[in-house]
Amino acid sequence: MSELTNHLIKEKYLKSPRIIDAFRKIKRAGFVPQKIIRAQGEDFVNQYNAPLSIGYGQTISQPLTVAFMLELLQPESGDKILDIGSGTGWQTALLCQLVGPDGFVWAIERIPELKSFGQANVKKYGFNNVEFIYGDGSKGLSAQAPFDKIIVAASAQEIPLAWKEQLKINGRLVVPVKSSIWLLKKKVPTSFEQKEYPGFVFVPLIRENHEDK
């Protein structure tokens, strides 16, 4: 993915040395179904800056979007991070690399087949700082809260209260809402600094019983 990574650096989507290093080490081709690799080739998958279908009505996000969201999130060594909508595990693996052995990532996926596929993909990298959970990500994960960071890979119609409550003071939440990416920084328990970045497209967040409640 070096050519694409260099492009993302040039266009200033990738800025942080640690995130750049993670992008170079953990390539998207290792997290897509083999039928795509056979049809398109590994080099194409690594260089193609667009979403790719992974089945079940879902996509693996384009590298530009993943880079942009990780730069907003700013994962640090030792962070506890909740990854909602983990899909095939690419972003999860990047997060595991970024938080290091002193951090931990909880990855929630609503589609059981994708949860299993993502877990197997991340396992190939030997990370011991991750747990995969099948469940409704809109509820967060109260048993492991509070989190330093929360990142969401699917678009919500509104931000669930659970995500805000489960974030530490000074924590960051990066979430797509409709066609924008939002960055929320928790200042006090009920007050957030927030900024909107419009112009993105995401698959919708799947809630329990596949209903938007």
Helix axes 17-25, 63-73, angle to 10 degrees: 140
pLDDT tens sequence across 112-159: 999 999 999 999 999 999 999 999 999 999 999 999 999 999 889 999
Q: Is residue 39 part of a domain?
A: yes
Q: Is residue 43 part of a domain?
A: yes
- Structural domain containing residue 93: 2-205
Q: Is residue 188 part of a domain?
A: yes
Residues acting as catalytic residues: 61
Q: Is residue 213 part of a domain?
A: no
Mean predicted lDDT score pLDDT of the chain: 92
Domain count, the chain: 1
User: Between the CA atoms of 116, 120, 125 and 129, what dihedral angle is there, to the nearest 10 degrees?
Assistant: 40
Q: Is residue 53 part of a domain?
A: yes
Q: Is residue 23 part of a domain?
A: yes
- To the nearest 5 percent, what fractions of the chain are helix, strand and coil? 40, 30, 35
The reply to whether the predicted model has a pTM over 0.75 is yes
Strands (E) located in 110-198: 130-134, 147-152, 167-177, 180-188, 191-198
Q: Is residue 105 part of a domain?
A: yes
Q: Tokens standing for 112?
A: 């059981």
- For residue 29, the 8-state DSSP code is G
Please enumerate in sequence order all residues whose Cβ is within 8 A of that of 8, keeping only pairs 6 or more positions apart, or say none: 14, 23, 49, 63, 64, 67
CATH assignment of the domain containing 129: 3.40.50.150
Q: Is residue 192 part of a domain?
A: yes
pLDDT tens sequence across 79-113: 999 999 999 999 999 999 999 999 999 999 999 99
